[in-house]
Structure 1
Amino acid sequence: MLAGAAILAAVVASFFYLGIDFKALVARESLASMARFVAEFFPPDLSSAFLARTAWGALQTLAVSALGTLLAMLGGAALALPASGRFGPALRHAARFLLNLLRSVPELVWAALMVLAAGLGPFAGVLALALHTSGVFGRLFGETLENLPQGPERALREAGSGAVAAFSYGSLPLAWPQWLAYALYRWEMNIRMAAVLGFVGAGGLGQMLYFHLSLFQQAQSATVIGAMFLLVFAVDGASARLRRGLAPAFA
């Protein structure tokens, strides 16, 4: 009860501290301004030339998210081994510190740094997603390894197998379905983030949207927003089907 009361008090205090005015949000002038702004997005630009550019931007966003997620899987798996305590407490603490550092920096901040290092374009977006998501995957993959039953790997070690073979045949088959499910779910999130990273020059649909919004070209912006929705919807559906297909592996 005390914890609930403290949380409620903190929420109420936050509203007063931030000075949130809901009356201004629903005022007639505010609603009219929002309606005029939304109306400017219709009809969207459906010309063949612009649709081709938008499709290319969507493909670039998809490629950035897929490659960034794949690199993050490799980096996360490599860091998950020491983070799960397989190489002693010293490396465990060092790996966990690095994972905390990677995921504590938001993707937009990583993207801004990578744009300075690698220049404008999708490569900066790939690096930003890979760095942040490696921290997320390393933590999730490491916890998966810690929660696995040790019997299969121990039996292989006692039968004379080497450490690599025992892990590959005793623990990895048990961890892999969970790792893949995490990767698919995170890929859905990275699709959205890859679109946002374009606002800092990381290419794709986000860069197109930022460009057209800056020029007050709402018709073109509406087309890009629609492409974002369709891309996320398609990837979410495909990822959900793949995760359902993995369900028997968890049984």
Structure 2
Amino acid sequence: MPPAPPRAIMPLLVLAALAALVVASFAALELKWGAFFTPEAAETTAEFLDGFAPPELSLPFLRKCLAASVETLSMSALGTLLAVLGAMALALPAAGRFGPLLRVPSRVVLNVLRSIPELVWAALLLVLAGLGPFAGTLALAAHTSGVLGRLFADALENAEPLPEKTLRTNGAGPMSAFFYATLSQTLPQMLSYTLYRWENNIRAAAVLGVVGAGGLGQMLKYHLSLFQMQNAATVVIAMLLMVAMVDAVSVALRRALTR
């Protein structure tokens, strides 16, 4: 039997390498699985969860949760909008639209932006912008710019070049050919990426408050630090409801774009 071609072997080698990595990860970590199933662990968990019931449902506190939810939602929306602008500004040179010299530096900037997590960006920007939602918004914008910029650049590079070339051949200018041919092809995909990242930024914005960036996360940290578990339970419920609402809206919009 002739040997298998290299293309058939490569996927097997990749799977074998991934399996070896998983086995090495389990071997390197001291995971104490038995500790999760002891009677002491079950008793401690039940006692901890019992402290969250019943949630705080007084009208003044619900108003605070609503205001914090609006703040978190605003952080995610504005951060995503700023990220789209920054991503498009970096995606064009990263896709080679301005020549090969700017392609590599632009991709390096995108790699740096998305390699630093939102929490680290928030911790750095809190020093410059101070406590509050402004630092959280900038942190979301910085990280998401790197993620969307890479996705936008790949979408532009993978777009069919023939329509733009045809328009250029028939006398259209570079900008007109790009907007009517390439951008029109990739725009639905870009919008889908943007909506998906907005979903992620809702969750991230809720967590960023833990470092002092405002919103529901800051309320959660405050009440947990004071062991006000019933108040914290209400904040967690508000987070879940907000994320579920935004997920439903985003899924509906993405389906409408792909029809």
TM-score of the superposed pair, with normalisation by structure 2: 0.93
Output one character per residue of 1:24-63: Cα deviation in whole Å (capped at 9) or x when no partner: 1111101110110011000000000000000000000000
The correspondence for 1:125, drawn from 133, 136, 160, is 136
The correspondence for 1:55, drawn from 63, 66, 71, is 66
The correspondence for 1:156, drawn from 167, 188, 201, is 167
- Residue 42 in structure 1 maps to residue 53 in structure 2: yes
User: Where does residue 8 of structure 1 map in the other structure?
Assistant: 19
Q: What is the distance in 1 between the residues matched to 2:167 and 2:16?
A: 53
- Residue 101 in structure 1 maps to residue 106 in structure 2: no
TM-score of the superposed pair, with normalisation by structure 1: 0.96
The correspondence for 1:136, drawn from 142, 147, 156, is 147
1:4/1:157 CA distance change after superposition, 3 Å? closer
Question: Structure 1: 5+ residue runs without aligned partners?
Answer: none
Output one character per residue of 1:202-243: Cα deviation in whole Å (capped at 9) or x when no partner: 100000000000000000000000000000000000000001
Higher mean displacement: 151-160 or 216-225: 151-160
User: Where does residue 90 of structure 2 map in the other structure?
Assistant: 79
User: Where does residue 193 of structure 1 map in the other structure?
Assistant: 204
1:153/1:5 CA distance change after superposition, 3 Å? closer
- Residue 166 in structure 1 maps to residue 180 in structure 2: no
Displacement, 1:126? 0.6
Q: What is the distance in 1 between the residues matched to 2:160 and 2:120?
A: 38
Q: What is the distance in 2 between the residues matched to 1:144 and 1:38?
A: 46
**Runs ≥4 in structure 1, deviation > 2 angstroms?**
1-17
Q: What is the distance in 2 between the residues matched to 1:99 and 1:4?
A: 29
Q: What is the distance in 2 between the residues matched to 1:91 and 1:210?
A: 43
Output one character per residue of 1:128-176: Cα deviation in whole Å (capped at 9) or x when no partner: 0000000001100011101111122112212222211111112111111
1:145/1:31 CA distance change after superposition, 3 Å? same
Output one character per residue of 1:183-220: Cα deviation in whole Å (capped at 9) or x when no partner: 00110000000000001111000000000000000000
Displacement, 1:73? 0.6
Displacement, 1:65? 0.3
User: Where does residue 190 of structure 2 map in the other structure?
Assistant: 179
User: Where does residue 246 of structure 1 map in the other structure?
Assistant: 257
1:4/1:182 CA distance change after superposition, 3 Å? closer
Q: What is the distance in 2 between the residues matched to 1:149 and 1:3?
A: 30
Could you tell me the percent identity over the aligned residues? 57
